[in-house]
Amino acid sequence: MSTNRPKDRSHLCAFTFADGRHCRTPRRSGHPHLCFFHARKEALSRAAEQAGEDVSYFLSDTYLSACDLTSALGRVFSAVAQGQIKPKTAATLAYLGQTLNQSIQLAQHEFINAFGTDCWRKELLSSVEANNAHDAPTPESAPTPAQDRAQPTSLASK
């Protein structure tokens, strides 16, 4: 009788499909567990997640300025060019961006009527500074987890 010896899979990809099958491709050199295809797929998934977080950061403030929208759409374009976001998803986001762009002037008018021009300028400056700190954080400008971007600085002081 033959005995079933477990096969040595240490040199093969560790990816397991939903139905329980294992990938039989040799591991990628430089990656501890996955083959080239699955390592690439994992890296793209992580990059897409990071791109989504970056885009949502620019759209998370209580007042959305044209600068915020431009920063978010710029990140979307960059992510599409790098293959992190699918073009169909980007087209949907661009359409939503167009809709947001049309409402920015109305929101600006309402904001100025409610809080005044100086308050609007301070809010816009705060938004641009936060975007710059997010894009190129330095030790002194990096936002801490305790900082809440959702509360506008100009409204918090009132």
Indicate whether this model's pTM tops 0.75.
Answer: no
Residue 111 lies in a domain: yes
Q: Is residue 115 a part of any domain in this protein?
A: yes
pLDDT digits (tens, 9 = 90+) for 104-131: 888 888 888 888 888 888 888 887 787 7
Residue 77 domain flag: yes
15: how many CB neighbours lie within 10 A of its CB?
A: 19
> Nearest Cα to 71, choosing from 62, 81, 82, 60?
60
Is residue 148 over pLDDT 50?
Answer: no
118 lies in which domain range? 49-156
- pLDDT tops 90 at residue 28: no
pLDDT at 79: 87
In a domain, 30, yes or no: no
Pick from 23-32, 55-64, 72-81, 133-142: least confident: 133-142
Residue 109 included in any domain: yes
Tell me how far the alpha carbon of residue 24 is from its chain's centroid: 33
Examine residue 17 and state whether it is found in any structural domain, yes or no. Answer: no
Q: How many domains does the chain have?
A: 1
23, part of any domain:
no
Does residue 15 lie in a domain region?
no
Q: Report d(CA 111, CA 52) in Å as an integer.
A: 28
Mean pLDDT of the chain: 77
Task: Please report, rounded to a whole number, the percentage of residues in the chain having pLDDT higher than 70.
Answer: 77
Sign of CA dihedral 50, 56, 60, 64: positive
Tokens for 80, please give them.
């599409």
- Here the tokens at position 123 are 């809010």
